Each structure stands twice: as structure tokens, then as C-alpha cells.
Amino acid sequence: MTERSRGRPRAFDRDRAILEAARLFWRRGYSGTSTRALTAALGLSTSSLYAAFGSKAGLFEEAVRRYAERYREIYRRAVEEQDVRTVVERVLVDSVHEFTQPDDTHPGCLVSSAVMTDSTDTLDTSAYVAELHRSNRQALLRRVERAVEDGELTGGVGAVALTELVQALWHGLSVRSGLDATREDLMEAARLAHGLICRQLGSPAS
């Protein structure tokens, strides 16, 4: 191996860099993650990090958007289902799958970790996450309202109440995924919740 090849910097992998940064932010929060820790984890100099992402805040925002948008897509797919019971199932089960992706491809649920409680430096990102939650809730609420209008729900459950219940379950599963709950435990909990909801909703109209 020549001196030239031995000293050649490794190719920059943006996806891998964002994943590694997201892991640090997930564990330490925005304020607790120093630029030095980021450059060490990503194998970049400070100038290279700034050239690629603009700033530490820019890297944080890109990491949050990269992984948070997956949850928006889960809701988008779910509300397209024909049966509202399947809508609820898809939101809960598919989200558990996303919360518990293997560590080598996913940093954990940034949306429910330090993102929501960090410093004012991350105000733009916090606003984005708040908008994401509103968007997901509205998409689900509109779908449930349509189910009520179409006579899908016969158990006397209101659209707002059902939507709030699903959202509360979603947030709880998200938080538990960052603690000591396993994928199997969370999946069992999600399916139990779905079964109980379906029982309350009554039989679909024929």
C-alpha cells in the first residue's frame, strides 16, 4: 500500500453520517451532543461537517426530518385502507415496526426523545415535529370521520375520541421503544390495543 492510498480519506457516506449523528442526538439530545463528538462519530473534520450540513443545527434538523418523515408515510398508507379497523391496525403495528428497526439501520424514535424537550436552539425542528404530529392526527381524524359517515362504526364511539386514543397509544409505544420494551412486547401490546378497540367499535355495517 502506498503512502498516497494509505492517507486517502474514506468516501463520505451521507446516509451513514446522518444515522450516526441521529444516534448521538437520540442518546444525548441536541444540547448534549458536542460538535467534537459528532466529528469523531462521523469521521469528519469540523470544516467538512459544516461544508456538508451547514451547522450542527442543520445536521440535527436533517436527521430528524430523515427519520420522522417515515412516520408521516405510515399514516398516509394507513388511511388509504378500506376498513377503519385496518387503518388503526396499520398505524399501531407499522409504527412499532418502525420504532424497533435494527440498530444498524435506525437510530430510535427521535420524535419522542430529546427533540421535544431540548433547547430553544432547536425551535425550528420542534415546530416541524409539532406540525408532523398535527398532520398525522388530522389525516387519521378525517379518515375516522369518514368511517362514521359511512356507517362503519356502530359502537357509538366518536371520531375525536378514537383519534385521540390511537394517538395516545402511538406516543406511548414510541416512548416505550426507547426504554426497555422489546419489539415482541410492543407488538403484542399494539395488537391487544387494536383488538380492544375493534371490540368497542362493534360489528361493521353490512
pLDDT digits (tens, 9 = 90+) for 177-205: 878 789 999 999 999 999 999 998 875 54
| Domain boundaries defined on the chain | 67-201
pLDDT score for 122: 56
CB 174 within 8 A of CB 111: yes
Mean pLDDT of all residues belonging to the chain = 83
> Which of 33-37, 65-69, 93-97 bottoms out in mean pLDDT, i.e. has the lowest?
65-69
User: Is the model's pLDDT at 93 over the cut of 70?
Assistant: yes
Instruction: Please tell me the pTM assigned to this model.
Output: 0.78
- Residue 206: pLDDT band (50, 70, 90) is very low
Fold of 67-201: Tetracycline Repressor; domain 2 (1.10.357)
CB 192 within 8 A of CB 93: no
pLDDT at 11: 67
Asked whether residue 10 carries a pLDDT value surpassing 70, the answer given is no
63 contact partners, CB below 8 Å, separation of at least 6: 18, 21, 22, 25, 107, 110
Q: What is the pLDDT of residue 128?
A: 78
Q: Is the per-residue pLDDT at 7 higher than 50?
A: no
pLDDT of residue 67: 80
> Do the Cβ atoms of 20 and 41 come closer than 8 Å?
yes
Task: Give DSSP secondary structure letters for 84-153.
Answer: HHHHHHHHHHHHHHHHT--TTT----GGGTGGGTS-GGGHHHHHHHHHHHHHHHHHHHHHHHHHHHTT--
Contacts by 7-11, CB closer than 8 A, 24 or more apart: 10/43
